[in-house]
């Protein structure tokens, strides 16, 4: 049989895998395999979603991607979207602390202070946090453990820099990115420089400064990029480019099982035309870990168990188009809301985890007649809003934003976007679990995994994952 690779999953990881399989930037040639992309939904792109808000296209999923990782910007240029890349137009963000939104201080890396004074001066951590930071400078606590392959970020930081730094800075930032908690989050997978710094003698902040890679002084890349026309434009363009290369793209195709066909694979699926089997010399599983677990469990129980052990968090994004006077003075790109800060007068924490000022962050979205902001809801262990109607979600968000930042008036329009089971949780020893999954796939032969469940949740990391998986099965 001629070589035929089936990519299961039409999110950005699967599309990147198909692009790499067909030659990537170099273009297709006779050595490339035949490629089929199977997507269970009726659209490509996964979490990359864009929609009309007023008279502009706004991202309803991720609104940008890291500029200091090159994979996403490079892929945009490869598919002809280089001119659509838009650099972030505002800097800085805030955090709700001690009764109001306070600007995040300078000298943070992923929410962890590398210098004490800017954080002390910000007023975020209060006098208890100030004492803990001063202790790290003058009388740092030695590590109670020797060199170790992984640690939970929260407890490690709490011992070194104090619990207020964890609760008001590190957890809102790192936990917000992953919709989880740093209490059990893997330092090796998420912040390896912190793990290395914590195992050195002396001040953690000083050690972390030496572990952090400096930003290039000459022509540094933007911190974030967006796409004019929305990030879904990248998925749509990739789909068109892949079709031009002869890739078969089959939306609304639900894969039920993988079966062995000699040394190769047979993919069993249902689509609008009925039940089918596709013969493949290679398969890329670019689907969430629980789905991958069900497909591989008949062939490798251990691999299926490792995949099934990866938990996921659900989130909701509420996009609000508001009159210009609905928001008072604001700074930067938005603010974070700590998980452990209680809403006044209640025993519960805030439902909103972050708010982004989209029309401030991305100047190409700005219009004179409105402002557009977005609130994030949900994290692992907090599913309060999952069963609510869209109307109730909007009412709850407006109520909290009124209390947090004094939001006034009725929105001009609203959109609620739900991402069920979308954020994998990188718990301690996650990289060991990932290595076990990848080794099991290699033993099976002609199989590779890709996506946010393994070595990074951001768009650049997912693209890198897809392209690496393609190289393993081509």
* Binned average pLDDT, 10 residues per bin, the chain of 474 residues: 92 98 94 97 97 95 95 98 96 94 95 96 96 94 79 96 97 96 97 93 94 70 94 97 98 96 94 94 98 98 98 98 92 95 89 97 95 97 92 97 95 97 97 98 97 97 98 95
Distance CA 287, CA 474 (A): 19
**Residue 341 carries which DSSP code?**
P
Gap between the terminal Cα atoms of the chain? 14
* Helix H or strand E segment including 118: helix 116-122
CB atoms within 10 A of CB 337: 24
The alpha carbon torsion through 342, 346, 349, 351 (nearest 10 deg) reads: -130
pLDDT at 217: 58
User: What is the residue whose two structure tokens read 């690496």?
Assistant: 468
Taking every pair of Cα atoms in the chain, the longest distance, rounded to a whole number of angstroms, is 71
**Residue 447 carries which DSSP code?**
E
pLDDT digits (tens, 9 = 90+) for 361-404: 999 999 999 999 999 999 999 999 988 999 999 999 999 999 99
pLDDT digits (tens, 9 = 90+) for 254-294: 999 999 988 999 999 999 999 999 999 999 999 999 999 99
**Residue 347 carries which DSSP code?**
S
Distance CA 207, CA 178 (A): 25
DSSP character string of 387-441 = TS-HHHHHHHHHHHHHHHH---S--SEEEEEEEEEEEE--BTTHHHHHHHHHHHH
Distance CA 427, CA 420 (A): 19
Strands 264-271 and 274-280: antiparallel
User: What is the residue whose two structure tokens read 């099982």?
Assistant: 257
Average pLDDT, the chain: 95
CA distances from 198 to 111, 158, 251, 321 (A): 15, 11, 47, 44
Distance CA 377, CA 73 (A): 28
pLDDT digits (tens, 9 = 90+) for 96-121: 999 999 999 999 999 999 999 999 99
Closest CA to 17 of 441, 472, 473, 466: 466
Burial tier of 219 (Cβ tally within 10 Å: 0-12, 13-18, 19+): exposed
pLDDT at 219: 73
């Amino acid at each position: 049989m001629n070589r035929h690779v089936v990519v299961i999953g039409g999110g950005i990881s699967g599309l990147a895998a198909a692009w790499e399989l067909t030659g990537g930037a170099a273009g297709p040639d006779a050595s490339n395999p035949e490629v089929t992309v199977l997507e269970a939904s009726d659209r490509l792109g996964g979490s990359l979603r864009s929609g009309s808000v007023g008279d502009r296209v706004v991202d309803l999923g991720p609104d940008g991607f890291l500029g200091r990782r090159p994979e996403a910007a490079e892929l945009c240029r490869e598919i002809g979207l280089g001119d659509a890349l838009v650099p972030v137009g505002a800097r800085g963000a805030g955090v709700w602390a001690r009764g109001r939104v306070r600007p995040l201080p300078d000298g943070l890396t992923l929410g962890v202070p590398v210098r004490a004074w800017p954080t002390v001066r910000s007023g975020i951590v209060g006098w208890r946090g100030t004492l803990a930071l001063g202790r790290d400078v003058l009388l740092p606590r030695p590590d109670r453990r020797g060199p170790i392959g992984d640690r939970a970020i929260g407890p490690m930081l709490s011992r070194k820099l104090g619990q207020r730094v964890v609760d008001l800075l590190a957890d809102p930032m790192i936990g917000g990115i992953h919709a989880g908690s740093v209490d059990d989050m893997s330092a090796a997978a998420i912040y390896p420089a912190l793990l290395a710094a914590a195992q050195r003698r002396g001040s953690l902040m000083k050690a972390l400064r030496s572990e952090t890679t400096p930003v290039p002084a000459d022509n540094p890349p933007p911190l974030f990029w967006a796409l004019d026309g929305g990030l879904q434009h990248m998925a749509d363009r990739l789909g068109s480019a892949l079709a031009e290369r002869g890739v078969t793209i089959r939306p609304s195709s639900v894969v039920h099982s993988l079966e062995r066909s000699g040394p190769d694979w047979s993919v069993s699926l249902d689509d609008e035309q009925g039940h089918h089997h596709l013969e493949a010399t290679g398969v890329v599983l670019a689907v969430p870990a629980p789905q991958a677990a069900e497909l591989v469990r008949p062939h490798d129980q251990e691999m299926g168990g490792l995949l099934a052990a990866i938990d996921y968090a659900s989130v909701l994004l509420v996009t609000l188009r508001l009159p210009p006077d609905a928001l008072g003075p604001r700074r930067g790109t938005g603010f974070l809301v700590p998980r452990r800060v209680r809403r006044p007068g209640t025993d519960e924490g805030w439902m909103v985890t972050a708010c982004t000022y989209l029309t401030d962050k991305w100047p190409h979205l700005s219009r004179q007649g409105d402002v557009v902001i977005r609130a994030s809801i949900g994290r692992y262990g907090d599913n309060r809003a999952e069963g609510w109607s869209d109307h109730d979600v909007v009412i709850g968000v407006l109520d909290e934003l009124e209390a947090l930042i004094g939001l006034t008036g009725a929105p001009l329009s609203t959109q609620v976007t739900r991402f069920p089971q979308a954020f994998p949780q990188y718990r301690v020893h996650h990289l060991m679990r990932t290595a076990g999954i990848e080794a099991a796939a290699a033993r099976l032969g002609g199989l590779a995994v890709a996506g946010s469940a393994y070595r990074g949740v951001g768009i650049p990391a997912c693209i890198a994952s897809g392209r690496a998986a393609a190289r393993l099965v081509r």
